[in-house]
Amino acid sequence: MSFGRKIYDGDFTGRNTSIAERGSTVGNKSKTVRHATPKRTKKASFSLISNVKLSEIDPEKDRYLITYADVITLLLGLFIILYTISNIDIKKYDKIKYAFENSFSSRSRKIIDLNTKSGDLIVTPVDELRNHLRQLITENDYGKVIKLEENEHGIIIHILDEILFASGSADLNKNSLQMLNKIASLLNKIPNEIRIEGHTDNVPINTSSFPSNWHLSVMRALNTAYYLINNENLKAERVSIVGNSEYKPIASNETASGRAQNRRVDIVIVREQK
């Protein structure tokens, strides 16, 4: 008995079949046994594909995308800010400009906010203004006729009527003009609104010019404001006028000295409200 074995690695066309054929003469029959090449398991195949895909991703190579995204975000924020401030409020700009000018000057840099409750932010060199007013009062011996007060409304300059007006009159004395000129030079350096208030004592007045203390207080405030606007270049849009008659005293009306203090004109550097 003879056995023969032939192994064919490929056919004449170069096709690799990897099939082993066995021939046998037993029973005059030829038997061919084919053995297939072992196939790769699915797990091995998946691992190979997965390794290939992961190798195509290079974290170091794509790291620039993080920086690029940050730059785009910052640029977006910048453009939003530029758009927001594109509409300039001239009034607010002047106030900010004034604050910066005084902050970097060689004079006192201490400033306080007169608008701590609400409204537009107004930063004013109040300490500097107060010092100048005190210096003006001291140098010109105005201590008996000008008083300073600071409250929630701002700074109030109380000017007694004896230096401004004759008794029962609303016409400014010539001697008072120089004093108003010096006060106006300080008022023109600040952006705050100015309120001129007229006050009287509780002694009634009834003349052809002034039928009541209301008339007298309003006319005194009006004439003071007119002088500051027309002669001292105080901007009219910053000025308001109030007549309070006898109803806002700062001293008792029971004494002559108290009534003298109540007869006054107040220049109020006010805090702006919305």
Residue 195 and residue 130 share a domain? yes
List pLDDT tens digits, range 172-230.
998 889 999 999 998 998 888 999 999 999 999 999 999 999 999 999 999 999 999 99
Q: Which domain holds residue 166?
A: 114-270
Cα 149 off chain centre by: 29
- Do 10 and 134 fall into the same domain? no
**Do residue 34 and residue 46 come from a single domain?**
no
The answer to whether position 107 is within a domain reads no
Find the CATH number of the domain harbouring 186: 3.30.1330.60
Please check whether residue 20 lies inside any domain of the structure: yes
Same domain, yes or no, for 33 and 61?
no
Q: Per-residue pLDDT tens for 31-44?
A: 544 545 555 544 44
Sheet strand arrangement including 194-199: 146-151, 154-160, 264-270, 194-199, 239-243
Instruction: Select the more confidently predicted residue: 242 or 69.
Output: 242
Cβ–Cβ < 8 Å for 158, 149: yes
pLDDT number for residue 42: 47
Is 99 contained in some domain? Answer: no
Statement to judge: residues 130 and 260 lie in one domain: yes
- The total domain count for the chain is 3
Nearest alpha-carbon partner for 225 in 245, 243, 207, 213: 243
CA distance 165 to 173: 6
For residue 95, being part of any structural domain is answered with no
CA atoms within 13 Å, Cβ hemisphere of 180: 28
Q: Pairing mode, if any, of strands 239-243 and 264-270?
A: unpaired
Evaluate whether residue 193 is within a structural domain: yes
Residues 25 and 54 in one domain: no
Q: Which of 228, 200, 230, 232 is nearest to 216 (CA)?
A: 200
Residue at 127 is within a domain: yes
Residue identified by tokens 């995308």 is: 65
pLDDT tens digits for range 160-174: 998 999 888 999 998
pTM exceeds 0.85, yes or no: no
